Structure 1
Amino acid sequence: MPGSPDPLVDSDVAIGMKAAARAAERLQVSDHVLGLILGLPEAMVPQIKDGAAPVDLTRHAVVPALLFVRVYQLLNTIVGGNEAAAASWFNSYNTALNARPVDAVQSVPGLGQIVEYLEVRRA
């Protein structure tokens, strides 16, 4: 039926949000910054972590959430699963990027830039 919610899409949205929340936890990203990355109010982040965020409010955040998860996956691969090293890199100034990655990812273009950088570094 046109206009009715698709449970599979809703489930995918919830999974993407939860994955972004886990990546943020592992990279030592605060709820405030995760909200900025996703373009959502900080007050929604605990709901996202619990899998209880309203899907209609989080759908627009799927693209940044999936890009952020990709950043985490690439970085995790580069550091061989060392979460402390990943968090340190993510939260430290990077001269090649001329920014701290945690600051750069607070926009979709910045997320794309970090993904590109990490894909090149991984190769």
Structure 2
Amino acid sequence: MTPQIAAKKHNDGVLLSSAVAKIADLWALSNSKMGTVLGLSAATVSRLRSGQTKLDPSSKSFEAGQFLLRLFRSLDSVVGSDDTAAQSWLATYNMDLDAKPIELIDSFKGLIAVCDYVDAYRARV
């Protein structure tokens, strides 16, 4: 691996880790909840939020973080950057999804389903 590629991967990990930590703060997600979503321990998420560690670009956790960022950006555009509305939407039972979105994002399949749902809704707007 060339030094440029290694630097890019490092930067990708730092940037996504920072974004995921910010999303956790804005949506008031606990370290335990974020750990479930990302497939990490609560302690690792704590270190991630404090900047002591970063997501590895070659990991499933990085991929889950990318989908979480996609969900955040899509939902943010639908609710007009209202983080309280986003939290409310995530915590409210959705008849189309047959669950609360916040519960679905615990699995990779559920996270993708919620992303696809919000993206489809956004495309109608």
- TM-score w.r.t. length of structure 2: 0.86
Q: Which runs of 4+ in 1 moved over 2 A?
A: 54-60
Gaps of at least 5 residues in structure 2 are: none
In the alignment, which residue of structure 2 is the partner of 1:18? Answer: 18
Which one-letter code corresponds to 1:22 in the other structure?
K
RMSD over aligned Cα, in angstroms? Answer: 2.0
Is the contact between residue 27 and residue 90 of structure 1 (CA under 8 Å) also seen in structure 2? no
In the alignment, which residue of structure 2 is the partner of 1:44? Answer: 44
User: Greater shift after overlay, 74-83 or 23-32?
Assistant: 23-32
Structure of greater relative contact order (alpha carbons < 8 Å, 6+ residues apart): 1
In the alignment, which residue of structure 2 is the partner of 1:115? Answer: 115
Gaps of at least 5 residues in structure 1 are: none
Is the contact between residue 13 and residue 59 of structure 1 (CA under 8 Å) also seen in structure 2? no
Q: Distance in 2 between matches of 1:89 and 1:57?
A: 29
Is the contact between residue 40 and residue 58 of structure 1 (CA under 8 Å) also seen in structure 2? no
Deviation of the 1:95 alpha carbon: 1.4
Q: Distance in 2 between matches of 1:54 and 1:79?
A: 29
- TM-score w.r.t. length of structure 1: 0.88
Is the contact between residue 13 and residue 58 of structure 1 (CA under 8 Å) also seen in structure 2? no
How many residues align? The count is 121
Q: Distance in 2 between matches of 1:87 and 1:21?
A: 15
